[in-house]
């Protein structure tokens, strides 16, 4: 049914009313704040100028009145501790006003600062258990919002002694560093109008949806977010029929509700579709400022899980919830823009003549090459180790894809050669009724960890559950360092263009090894990368060591991102988290084997034995070879699985006793994980030979095709 013009207008009006309706955004501030306070707030958002206490009081009162009108009675400082999820403590607006009376109050002091207990959050040794005081401090550069009938105020989180205990603070520091150095470079190009340089970020979010009742029957999904056992069903993703296929109505209803809730929070959810694996999907937003995009992605993951529950589904954000099919990533699309809206990574019509673009491009190339180990560690988790290296997930070796045209342009720049612009090719469809169109100048590379995609870079290594604050913090800081070197070398030079071309030539000569436009999955690339001297750290424990390397500590210190103590805390927390994740998985595996798999299969073997006895009693010459073969096979598998479970228990106990965090993580990787893989292989083989009604948990077929 087609809508008439009035209905279309009403629909558009409803959409405009819905979007940002739960956000204390610019429109609301303009309505509710005095002009003086509003202008102060705009200056804070655009230029980073601190608010006065009077302005904070005005903001707090306006926020409170707006929230109360929407039925809100509590507020919370919403922060991002180093747990990977968000945290909040709810306080009401009520204050006593005489006997048996209350009033609703919210002061600038309450807006600016709160004191959650910091002792139970990960600190990596920054705080002892008895040192409990921590502070949350308002981030006025992003908007407050209402979630679950709570006014949420985005904040940073730090210790009593000032160390950053969260993921937002280092990200904001890195944005300041990038802004400072990018402005220095822009001034050299004669740009005096730009006041601020920001990143724009768009994290594409992949996820799985399975039926909640089916998922609840799996201990591994409940405790770890992934399947620890499971034989592949006859059909997986081989036919590629799920990718961009018709979205099932149950999933479509979920996606509609998710869009609405995201839009209420001002989150620019744009694209949704089926991904490659059965039950896998993706949501992509429109890009926004890096700090805001990180907050939005944390909210997106939270809402994905909550709304799935309302639809009797379970949303899995684990990087590899099912073996044998694609894992889930989070492609981090990153660009650098001015406050005037210019994308500094946009090549323009003649990129070979666009020296400003080439300068920022070369800065990114040098940053990724020089700090490739830091970029690798930002995505180093136990879950992502299962994903990297196959099924459209990039390998652990960092490289940059530029495409043929840009590679040729940079080659000409390095060697001082003229570049002959490639002639635009026309794509002819071969069908007269269809329009022909201009082809892009290069293909896409789906195996590259860090690919240029027209006017931005796509960092494809982050896992689905990861906060994008870490990758963006390191990327911002590394690029800031290279831009600083450029500015140091160029400031004061009489012939700026000649000096710049020399700097860019030297940069390309030193860092072009990181550029690779081929197949990142091939064995030849592994050897080639080694020959080039590129880093290859296939597991998280290897990758995380880079936190404490002298070169990287200097980078953090020079740009005021981490103190040495803050860097060491992240190193320890990530190692500890890696070990804890594998420990939980190992304990879950042992419990499933001992309480579910072995009793079920042993019982089935017993019933087979009874069948053989009964058949021979009735007919002594009866052929029982099938049952006897199964009895021998399953009995042998049961014995081996029991033995491997005992060995796993010993390995877990041994790993837990290791005191050094690095050595402990390596013990979990080498001793515990290897035994878990052997146990899985045994159990998956048992599943193949055990009747469905006997197998004690839903199979992969049940899970991946549970939503019809």
pLDDT of residue 435: 74
How large is the average pLDDT for residues 294-319?
96
CB of 474 closer than 8 Å to CB of 464: no
CB of 467 closer than 8 Å to CB of 82: no
pLDDT band with cut points at 50, 70 and 90 for residue 658: very high
CB of 469 closer than 8 Å to CB of 171: yes
How large is the average pLDDT for residues 537-544?
94
pLDDT of residue 11: 62
- Residue 430, pLDDT > 90, answer no
- DSSP letter string over 303-330? HHHHHHHHTTEEEE--S-SSTTS---BE
pLDDT of residue 388: 87
Where do the structural domains in the chain lie, given as residue ranges? Answer: 18-166, 174-228+241-426+436-562, 578-704
pLDDT band with cut points at 50, 70 and 90 for residue 657: very high
Distance CA 458, CA 333 (A): 4
Cα separations (Å) of 363 from 181, 184, 295, 358, 404? 11, 13, 27, 8, 19
Distance CA 123, CA 157 (A): 11
pLDDT of residue 311: 97
More confident site: 384 or 443: 384
Distance CA 460, CA 333 (A): 8
CB of 403 closer than 8 Å to CB of 442: yes
- Residue 7, pLDDT > 70, answer no
- Residue 172, pLDDT > 90, answer yes
How large is the average pLDDT for residues 195-212?
96
pTM: 0.93
How large is the average pLDDT for residues 386-391?
76
pLDDT of residue 2: 61
Distance CA 656, CA 304 (A): 34
- Residue 324, pLDDT > 70, answer yes
- 134 forms beta bridges with 159
pLDDT of residue 276: 86
**Residue spans of alpha helices (H) in 35-91:** 35-47, 53-69
> For domain 578-704, is the CATH number 1.20.120.1560?
yes
In 3-state terms, what secondary structure has residue 502? helix
pLDDT of residue 585: 98
Window from 170-174, 478-482, 619-623, 656-660 with minimum mean pLDDT? 619-623
pLDDT of residue 64: 92
- Residue 13, pLDDT > 80, answer no
- Residue 332, pLDDT > 60, answer yes
Distance CA 516, CA 537 (A): 18
How large is the average pLDDT for residues 351-360?
93
More confident site: 97 or 396: 396
pLDDT of residue 147: 95
pLDDT of residue 687: 97
Percent of the chain with pLDDT over 90: 71
pLDDT of residue 189: 96
How large is the average pLDDT for residues 574-580?
96
Average pLDDT score, the chain: 90
How large is the average pLDDT for residues 265-275?
91
User: In this predicted model, what pLDDT tens digit does every residue of 206-237 receive, in sequence order?
Assistant: 999 999 999 999 999 999 999 999 999 888 87
Quick one: which of 635, 631, 636 has its CA closest to 609?
631
Residue owning tokens 């013990």: 667
- DSSP letter string over 534-574? -----SHHHHHGGGG-HHHHHHHHHTTS--HHHHHHHHHHH
Please state which CATH number belongs to domain 18-166: 3.10.20.70
- Residue 651, pLDDT > 90, answer yes
Distance CA 354, CA 345 (A): 10
User: In this predicted model, what pLDDT tens digit does every residue of 630-641 receive, in sequence order?
Assistant: 999 999 999 999
pLDDT band with cut points at 50, 70 and 90 for residue 120: confident
Distance CA 178, CA 187 (A): 14
Looking at the domain 174-228+241-426+436-562, which fold is it? Creatine Kinase; Chain A, domain 2 (3.30.590)
Window from 6-15, 461-470, 671-680 with minimum mean pLDDT? 6-15
How large is the average pLDDT for residues 362-390?
94
pLDDT band with cut points at 50, 70 and 90 for residue 96: low
- 284 forms beta bridges with 271
- Residue 696, pLDDT > 70, answer yes
Q: Give the burial string for 655-672 (b: 16+ CB within 10 Å, else e).
A: beebeebbebbbbbbebb
């Amino acid at each position: 049914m087609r809508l008439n013009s009035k209905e279309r207008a009403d629909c558009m009006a409803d959409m405009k009313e819905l979007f940002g309706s739960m956000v204390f955004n610019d429109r609301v501030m303009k309505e509710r704040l005095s002009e003086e306070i509003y202008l102060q707030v705009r200056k804070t958002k655009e230029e980073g100028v601190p608010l006065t206490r009077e302005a904070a009081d005005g903001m707090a009162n306006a926020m409170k009145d707006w929230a109360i009108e929407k039925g809100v009675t509590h507020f919370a400082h919403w922060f991002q501790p180093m747990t990977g999820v968000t945290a909040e403590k709810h306080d009401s607006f009520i204050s006593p006003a005489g006997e048996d009376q209350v009033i609703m109050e919210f002061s600038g002091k309450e807006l600016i600062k709160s004191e959650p207990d910091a002792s139970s959050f990960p600190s990596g040794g920054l705080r002892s258990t008895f040192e409990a005081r921590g502070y949350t401090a308002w981030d006025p550069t992003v908007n407050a919002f209402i979630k679950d009938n709570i006014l949420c105020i985005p904040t940073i989180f730090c210790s009593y002694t000032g160390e950053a205990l969260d993921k937002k603070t280092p990200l904001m520091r890195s944005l300041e560093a990038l802004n400072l150095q990018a402005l220095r470079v822009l001034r050299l190009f004669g740009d005096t109008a730009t006041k601020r340089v920001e990143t724009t970020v768009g994290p594409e979010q992949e996820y799985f949806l399975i039926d909640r009742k089916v998922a609840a029957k799996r201990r591994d999904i409940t405790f770890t977010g992934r399947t620890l056992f499971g034989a592949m069903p006859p059909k997986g993703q081989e036919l590629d029929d799920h990718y961009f296929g018709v979205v099932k109505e149950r999933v479509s209803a979920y996606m509609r509700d998710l869009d609405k809730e995201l839009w209420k929070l001002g989150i620019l959810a744009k694209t949704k579709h089926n991904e490659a694996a059965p039950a896998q999907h993706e949501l992509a937003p429109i890009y926004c400022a890096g700090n805001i995009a990180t907050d939005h992605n944390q909210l997106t993951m939270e809402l994905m899980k909550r709304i799935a529950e309302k639809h009797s589904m379970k949303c899995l954000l684990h990087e590899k919830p099912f073996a044998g099919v694609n894992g889930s990533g989070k492609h981090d699309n990153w660009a650098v823009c001015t406050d005037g809206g210019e994308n500094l990574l946009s090549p323009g019509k003649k990129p070979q003549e666009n020296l400003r673009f080439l300068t920022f491009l070369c800065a990114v190339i040098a940053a990724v090459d020089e700090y490739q180990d830091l970029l690798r560690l930002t995505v180093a988790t136990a879950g992502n180790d299962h994903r990297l290296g196959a099924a459209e997930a990039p390998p652990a070796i960092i490289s940059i894809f530029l495409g043929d045209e840009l590679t040729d342009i940079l080659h000409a720049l390095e060697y001082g050669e003229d570049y002959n612009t490639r002639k635009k090719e026309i794509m002819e469809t071969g069908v007269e009724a269809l329009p022909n169109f201009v082809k892009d100048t290069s293909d896409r590379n789906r195996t590259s960890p860090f690919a240029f995609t027209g006017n931005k870079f796509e960092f494809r290594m982050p896992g689905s559950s990861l906060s994008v604050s870490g990758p963006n913090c390191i990327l911002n800081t590394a690029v800031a360092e290279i831009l600083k070197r450029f500015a140091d070398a160029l400031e004061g030079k009489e012939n700026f263009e000649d000096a710049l071309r020399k700097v860019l030539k030297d940069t390309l000569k030193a860092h072009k090894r990181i550029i690779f436009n081929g197949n990142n999955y091939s064995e030849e690339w592994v050897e080639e990368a080694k020959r080039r001297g590129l880093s290859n750290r296939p597991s998280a424990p290897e990758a995380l060591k880079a936190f404490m390397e002298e070169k990287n500590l200097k980078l953090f210190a020079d740009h005021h991102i981490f103190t040495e103590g803050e860097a060491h805390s992240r190193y320890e927390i990530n190692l500890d988290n890696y070990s804890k994740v594998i420990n939980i998985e190992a304990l879950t595996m042992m419990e499933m084997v001992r309480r579910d798999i072995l009793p079920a299969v042993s019982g089935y073997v017993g019933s087979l034995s009874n069948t053989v006895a009964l058949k021979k009693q009735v007919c002594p010459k009866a052929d029982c070879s099938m049952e006897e073969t199964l009895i021998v096979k399953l009995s042998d598998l049961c014995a081996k699985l029991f033995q491997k479970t005992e060995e796993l228990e010993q390995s877990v106990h041994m790993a837990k006793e290791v005191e050094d965090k690095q050595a402990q993580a390596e013990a979990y990787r080498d001793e515990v994980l290897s035994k878990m893989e052997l146990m899985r292989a045994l159990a998956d083989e048992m599943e193949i030979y055990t009747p469905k009604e006997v197998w004690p948990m839903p199979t992969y077929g049940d899970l991946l095709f549970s939503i019809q």
